[in-house]
Amino acid sequence: MSALDPQHNLWNTALRIAPILYIDRLEPFLPVRVGLTIMAEPGPSPSFDRVIDFEPEQVALVIEYAIYWDYDIQHIYDLEHVWIYLNHRGEIANCEASFHGQYHDGLLRDRSNLTEDGRVKLFVQPGKHAMSPLEENLRLLPNAVSCCQEEAGKDGVLENEMFRGQFKFGEQVDQLAEAHLRTFCFRPSFDYVPYTWADDTFVPWEELRSEIPARLKALLAELS
């Protein structure tokens, strides 16, 4: 396992096959950065609590896209994931996507959400950013609308184990975050548009790993 360097000969491949995210047209938040990691053998993810397992005879490598947002509608800090599995012919063999702390298949069995140029299309839950190859799955969630309205901000600042003690300080930080997030309340349209990645969005995972605490300390300082 290694972080992808911009000079690595697979860097352009990772950018070329980056998933196409379909985002609600009223979504108030957009991805800030994507940390890339390449895995040529099975092993633990550097940024998600899971082991990435595959058969090397069938899969040549896995590219992990750790997609960072400053905001989820219910909490500050959000890190979502997509894993693209490439076979030895350089074709997409499989895809997985994060979904509320877990993950599921991101490539439909009939491969109908794979574009002709070899990119996986995924729908992003409004406000929450869980991903699914089927838009209907997101609409069927019981809090699909309420999470973006009366439940907005309820979780304050999320600081997971990876970043424990690095940016969440102060007794009132959760209350300040909740008040701030509630200013972004919206009613999802469930009308999705493809998101265009900016050229500077993609960085090696270790670079993003260092950037996140600095970003959040600055963001939270502005709220206090």
Q: How many CB atoms lie within 10 A of CB 224?
A: 9
pLDDT tens by residue, 47-105: 999 999 999 999 999 999 999 999 999 999 999 999 999 999 999 999 999 999 999 99
Q: How many domains does the chain have?
A: 1
The dihedral formed by the CA atoms of 8, 9, 12 and 16, expressed in degrees to the nearest 10: -130
Domain span including residue 30:
2-223
Whole-prediction pTM value?
0.95
CA 70-73-74 angle, to 5 degrees, is: 100
The answer to whether residue 5 scores a pLDDT higher than 90 is no
Q: How confident is the model at residue 1 (pLDDT cuts 50, 70, 90)?
A: very low
DSSP three-state, residue 150: coil
The answer to whether residue 8 scores a pLDDT higher than 80 is no
pLDDT tens by residue, 114-165: 999 999 999 999 999 999 999 999 999 999 999 999 999 999 999 999 999 9
pLDDT tens by residue, 79-92: 999 999 999 999 99
